[in-house]
């Protein structure tokens, strides 16, 4: 049943009014979409950095962005036009996204191109900020000095491994199997009768097993013992010297020692031998030099805490090579004789430079190293 005529007129009028509003809303949306479609490519082009581009993109597609705002107006458009508008919005959104990605890639490429065409970084250029110069480690400095001295006396340098056979480190040097030095407590054993060499005397065995006398070698190298305190480090450095020939006597040994002391610690440095025991020498001795710390101008010694007020400081062990060692290496001890000596380079450097603590060598503090 139709409503009464008046009411019908009113309803018709309302409908017309609604239609007009919806049409206006659609026009607004269309214009806004067209304007955005027109303007966004230039806005993206204007963004120079990735961040600026992302900000611009958010202004359009973000939650409070322009396209989102347009989409919110969709409900005001005539129902029959909404589908088409929705499609236009989606198309524009895809265009915006595609442009965004393209521009993002272009910005990245420009950065990369700039990087690639920039002047290459030249590692060989001197630094702008002054950099402190490195220094020779005192152990290396002293080793070079000792090598130089012995080379001047006709000794050649012999090398050898840090991991050694028990035979070469102990057995052939005349250590009895139960010698305390062979103990687990004192040496670093690896596997299968190998150990980290406890001294450079293994090179005597190696050299004499490889070649026949006469020979004169020095052998600098790292050695390892289970010791760790103010005066001992589990790894330290030794230098062995030995000479084998006919009629070599203790006088030759003494002469070499005097020459070494004079060249290392100054002319006239007194040397004395004290009897001592090493399984691979007979006789054996420990060598002292006149204390370098309390030496007076006239050459006499005042005595100090470092030499325990004796005026003498121990520097190395030495002796005449034991016939047992020659025999173990296939050398006739009736014909050949020789001497050997072994010094700790940390100790030689301590005395030379007045270094108080062995730990300083291994800390590599530049303030320490810069002093040499
Ligand atoms: N090898 C001995 C040590 O490490 C030093 C030494 C070498 C002694 C040569 C005598 C002869 O203590």
Task: Tell me how far the alpha carbon of residue 280 lies from the centroid of ligand 1, in angstroms.
Answer: 8
Residue of minimum CA distance from atom 10 in ligand 1: 318
Interval 108-127: pLDDT, tens? 999 999 999 998 888 898 88
**pLDDT value of residue 192:** 86
As given in the structure block, the two tokens for residue 361 are: 């060598």
Residue for token pair 């290459």: 120
- Rounded mean pLDDT of the chain? 92
| Helix, strand counts (H, E) of the chain | 12, 9
User: What ranges in 1-78 are assigned the alpha helix state H?
Assistant: 5-46, 50-61, 66-72
**pLDDT value of residue 7:** 52
In the chain the beta strands, taken as DSSP E runs, fall at 156-157, 163-165, 194-196, 215-224, 235-246, 271-276, 281-290, 312-321, 336-344
Task: Tell me how far the alpha carbon of residue 286 lies from the centroid of ligand 1, in angstroms.
Answer: 9
Element (H, E) at 353: helix 345-353
Query: Is the CB of 317 within 6 Å of ligand 1?
Result: yes
**pLDDT value of residue 186:** 87
Give the mean model confidence (pLDDT) for residues 182-211: 92
Residue 76 CA to residue 85 CA, distance in Å, equals: 11
Interval 291-326: pLDDT, tens? 988 988 888 999 898 889 999 999 999 999 999 999
**pLDDT value of residue 9:** 53
Residue 67 CA to residue 62 CA, distance in Å, equals: 8
Q: Is the bond preceding 112 in cis, omega lying within 30 degrees of 0?
A: no
**pLDDT value of residue 181:** 81
Atom of ligand 1 nearest to the CA of 238: 4
Residue of minimum CA distance from atom 5 in ligand 1: 342
**pLDDT value of residue 107:** 96
Interval 232-269: pLDDT, tens? 899 999 999 999 999 999 999 999 999 999 999 999 99
Atom of ligand 1 nearest to the CA of 339: 11
Residue 146 has pLDDT above 60, yes or no: yes
Q: Point out the least confidently predicted range of 15-19, 58-62, 71-75, 81-85.
A: 15-19
Phi, psi of 345 (to 5 degrees): -70, -30
- Considering only residues 361 and 305, tell me which one the structure prediction assigns the higher pLDDT: 361
Residue 230 CA to residue 223 CA, distance in Å, equals: 17
**pLDDT value of residue 145:** 97
As given in the structure block, the two tokens for residue 243 are: 């000479």
**pLDDT value of residue 182:** 79
**pLDDT value of residue 2:** 58
**pLDDT value of residue 288:** 97
Residue 33 CA to residue 96 CA, distance in Å, equals: 12
Query: What's the angle, vertex CA 326, arms to CA 323 and CA 327, rounded to 5?
Result: 85
**pLDDT value of residue 366:** 86
**pLDDT value of residue 61:** 93
Interval 320-348: pLDDT, tens? 999 999 999 999 999 999 999 999 999 99
Give the mean model confidence (pLDDT) for residues 184-205: 92
Atom of ligand 1 nearest to the CA of 204: 9
Residue 270 has pLDDT above 90, yes or no: yes
**pLDDT value of residue 88:** 92
Give the mean model confidence (pLDDT) for residues 167-176: 95
Query: Is the CB of 290 within 6 Å of ligand 1?
Result: no
pLDDT band at 214 (very low <50, low <70, confident <90, very high): very high
Nearest alpha-carbon partner for 145 in 234, 242, 262: 262
Give the mean model confidence (pLDDT) for residues 138-146: 96
Residue 3 has pLDDT above 90, yes or no: no
pTM for the model stands at 0.67
pLDDT band at 350 (very low <50, low <70, confident <90, very high): very high
């Amino acid at each position: 049943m139709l409503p009464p005529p008046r009411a019908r007129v009113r309803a018709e009028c309302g409908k017309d009014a609604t239609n007009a509003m919806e049409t206006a809303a659609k026009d607004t949306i269309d214009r806004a979409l067209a304007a955005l479609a027109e303007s966004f490519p230039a806005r993206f082009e204007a963004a120079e950095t990735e961040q600026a581009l992302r900000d611009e993109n958010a202004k359009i597609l973000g939650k409070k962005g322009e396209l989102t705002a347009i989409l919110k107006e969709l409900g005001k458009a005539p129902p029959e036009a909404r589908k088409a508008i929705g499609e236009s919005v989606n198309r524009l959104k895809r265009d915006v996204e595609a442009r965004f990605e393209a521009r993002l890639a272009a910005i990245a490429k420009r950065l990369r191109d700039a990087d690639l065409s920039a002047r290459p970084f030249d590692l060989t250029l001197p630094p702008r900020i002054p950099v402190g110069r490195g220094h020779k480690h005192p152990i290396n400095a002293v080793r070079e000095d000792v090598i130089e001295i012995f080379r001047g006396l006709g000794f050649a340098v012999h090398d050898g491994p840090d991991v050694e056979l028990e035979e070469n480190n102990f057995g052939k040097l005349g250590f009895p199997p139960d010698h305390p030095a062979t103990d687990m407590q004192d040496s670093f054993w690896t596997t299968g009768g190998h150990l980290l060499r406890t001294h450079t005397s293994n090179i005597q065995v190696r050299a004499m097993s490889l070649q026949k006398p006469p020979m004169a070698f020095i052998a600098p190298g790292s050695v390892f013992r289970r010791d760790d305190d103010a005066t001992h480090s589990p790894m330290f450095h030794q230098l062995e010297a030995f000479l084998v020939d006919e009629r070599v006597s203790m006088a030759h040994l003494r002469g070499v020692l005097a020459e070494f002391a004079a060249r290392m610690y100054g002319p006239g440095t007194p040397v004395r031998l004290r009897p001592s025991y090493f399984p691979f020498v007979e006789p054996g001795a420990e060598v002292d030099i006149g204390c370098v710390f309390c030496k007076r101008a006239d050459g006499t010694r005042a005595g100090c805490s470092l030499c325990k007020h004796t005026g003498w400081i121990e520097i190395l062990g030495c002796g005449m090579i034991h016939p047992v060692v020659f025999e173990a290496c296939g050398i006739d001890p009736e014909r050949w004789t020789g001497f050997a000596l072994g010094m700790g380079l940390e100790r030689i450097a301590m005395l030379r430079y007045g270094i108080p603590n062995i730990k300083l060598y291994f800390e590599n503090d530049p303030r320490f190293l810069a002093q040499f």
